[in-house]
Amino acid sequence: MNISTPFIHRPVATNLLTIAIPLAGMVAFRLLPVAPLPQVDFPTISV
């Protein structure tokens, strides 16, 4: 059995899967926690 056989026999399911994967990625991207001003520790040299 070829890996593409189920996708050829079920074009509607293939289209729905193609739409669902980017949609899930966009939802997951919106849920990522992003700080507007992250805490950054700059390296300092003290003598």
DSSP codes joined into one string, 1-47: --TTHHHHH-HHHHHHHHHHHHHHHHHHHHTS---SS----------
* C-alpha span between 23 and 7 (Å, rounded): 19
Low-confidence ranges of the chain (pLDDT < 70): none
pLDDT in the model for residue 34: 83
What's the whole-model pTM score?
0.61
pLDDT in the model for residue 46: 86
pLDDT in the model for residue 37: 80
CA 6 from chain centre, in angstroms, equals 24
- Cβ atoms 9, 2 nearer than 8 A: no
pLDDT in the model for residue 39: 82
